[in-house]
Structure 1
Amino acid sequence: MKKILLLIVLLYSTAQVYSQCACCAASGASASSNDFNNGIFTLPKNQWVLESNADYRTIKKGDAPEDEEKLLKNMFISSLGIRYGITDKITISALVPYVFLHTNYGNDNGLGDLDLMATYNLYSKNGYGFAVQAGVELPTGIQKDSNFDNTAVIVGSGSYDPMVGILFSKHWDKMTLIGNALYKYTTNGFQGNYYGSIAIQNLALSYKIKAGGRLLAMDEKGEKDMSNFGWNLFGGYYGEWLDKIKEDGIVDENSGYYLGFANLGTTISYKKWSFPLTISAPIINKMNGLQNDTGYRFRIGIIKSL
């Protein structure tokens, strides 16, 4: 009970410290998912995990006009998260990004919206796993006409946005198939504006080169590999849909998109530490109206079990 009360205090403190922050669309929609490439969706009871991620995204130069707003060259999103296993089947998490936006006419940066998420492991047996997620994104971001009014990115929405998702996995000896889908319903925020609901999809195949470290998993015989070092490789597809925004009752036809990426990555684990790395190459760039296409994405993380 003391640990649960401590977690509630930490989450509340995080929300207060990260108030008046800024974020961009989909920056935290897939929060706390770096362990999912091994098919483990929840933490053991009373287990704490801290994680930090760095996500660098490039923007291709295209034909989109640059007038009142300055178009992005690239963005860098760092994030800090915490997770806790309430039971072996229920894990709760909090994650907040810090966003850096780069344009030809200057840069902006700020803390992003806070995501709170709960994951419930419904089924885990005979190599199969299935879990569900639910959460909310808190309206801690600033309005667009504050620090970020010179960029073509919506920052804080000013709304409480519910999220739901599903996850599944299938294990075969050293290989694991993992999939997940998450939907964030964006409600009307600042001045009644709508800044776009988000849906993501992910499917990956992971190969375990060496079992060990903090990514230890129980095999079908219930025995643990006690090696200090673990290493796996994974690859797959990631999709991201963003709805068109609506400001002052008018739909912005040059907003919203569907993006598809081919992912390739690896996770190295040593004792209680893990270091995931993912490279994403765009294969689908379906942008609404006049927008520049997205480019490559690079993501690296540091995860520590306590």
Structure 2
Amino acid sequence: MKKYKILLITILFSVTYANSQCACCAGAATGSSGSFNNNNGLLTLEKRQLVLEDYVEYRNINIKSQHIEEARIEEDEETPLKSIFVNSLGVRYGITDKITIAASLPYVFLHTDSGNDNGLGDLMVIGTFNAYSKNNFNIALQGGLELPTGIQKGSNFDNTTVVVGSGSFDPMVGLLFSKRWENNIALQGNGTFKYTTNGFKGNYYGNISVQNVTFSYRIKEIKKKADLISNDTQYKIIETNYRWTVFGGYYGEWLDKIREDGSVDEDSGYYLGFLNIGTNFNYDSWSFPLTLSLPIIQDMNGEQNDAGIRLRIGVVKSF
């Protein structure tokens, strides 16, 4: 049935962007590693369609040199971040066929040699408006707000530059596009910018901009099965809706330098580029996307550890 075409644009603005040793907020993200993997070319949900989703993401951080880290800890009393684990819960609802609203909330786990920390990230609310549709080509506009629900730095490593909650209200805007050929090939992408205002103690945790382009191919789709009931003319139609999609693309992420206690941290901010590959399996109204992100661009400001691989798994239910 048409209402079970699940839109699996990744939860925009939903996961933490605390790669390497720079500061950024859980929830400060705007697009991520597994977006646009349902291959349907749609940028908004159908009217009154409800989608619930849960994404789990693991991010590794490559420590360049133990000697460098020991010197940095001694000088700055910072705690080197080794890995990040994020669980993001989200909901989306189609107000009309052209307007979709969404909200998502991450919970973040941070791991270091000195101990672990965890906490609630910032809540994201966002609206998407499909502004143009013709010949399987779509353009949509987005607007949203990051709400300061996340926790302030503290606990086991108060002096680390990793931030879970920003303490500020931050607006964001975005542009999305999609193009579908036949019924099994799609190209989709987005560009988004979040303007960061001063948060906890007047600190500035950096504007963020992301870019995402994904090419997907639907390998297999079985939409329905016909069973003979009593004779050659009567059939019972059974919906099965198995779909298997593979996808790949590029994801870019820029973060501005941060400012804490009135001073700019020269060892913060970056541009990262990732190669994304993944697959998505759908069964009726359920979907299970898997994305692996490999860093191919590491343009860091100052001395920072490199971002490592990212692995993202999702469970999505459409109503």
Q: Aligned residue for 1:36?
A: 36
1:144 maps to a residue whose letter is K
Q: Aligned residue for 1:70?
A: 79
The 3 A distance-change label for structure 1 pair 272 and 263 is same
Of 247, 261, 283, the residue aligned with 1:270 is 283
The SS at the match of 1:143 is coil
Unpaired runs of at least 5, structure 1 = 1-21, 214-225
- TM-score of the aligned structures, taking structure 1 as reference length: 0.84
The SS at the match of 2:93 is strand
The SS at the match of 2:36 is helix
The 3 A distance-change label for structure 1 pair 27 and 234 is farther
Q: Does 1:281 align with 2:294?
A: yes
Unpaired runs of at least 5, structure 2 = 1-15, 19-23, 224-238
Q: Aligned residue for 1:200?
A: 210
Matched pairs, number: 274
Q: Indicate conservation of the 8 Å contact 1:23/1:111, yes or no.
A: no
Of 75, 87, 107, the residue aligned with 2:96 is 87
Q: How far is 1:30 from its partner?
A: 3.1
1:86 maps to a residue whose letter is I
Could you tell me the percent identity over the aligned residues? Answer: 62
Q: Indicate conservation of the 8 Å contact 2:116/2:156, yes or no.
A: no
Q: How far is 1:89 from its partner?
A: 0.4
Q: Indicate conservation of the 8 Å contact 2:25/2:205, yes or no.
A: no
The SS at the match of 1:36 is coil
The 3 A distance-change label for structure 1 pair 147 and 186 is farther
The structure that has the greater radius of gyration is 2
Q: Does 1:244 align with 2:251?
A: no
1:182-213, Cα deviation, whole Å (9 max, x unpaired): 11100011121111111110011111112467
Q: Does 1:300 align with 2:313?
A: yes
Superposed, 1:77-116 pairs within 5 Å as 77-116=86-125
Larger deviation: 235-244 or 123-132?
A: 123-132
1:24-75, Cα deviation, whole Å (9 max, x unpaired): 5364323699663322211111111100000100000114422311111111
Q: Indicate conservation of the 8 Å contact 1:138/1:159, yes or no.
A: yes
**How far apart in 2 are the matches of 1:147 and 1:162?**
30
The 3 A distance-change label for structure 1 pair 274 and 207 is same
Q: Indicate conservation of the 8 Å contact 2:33/2:291, yes or no.
A: no
Q: How far is 1:157 from its partner?
A: 1.3
Quick one: higher RCO (CA 8 Å, sep 6+), 1 or 2?
A: 2
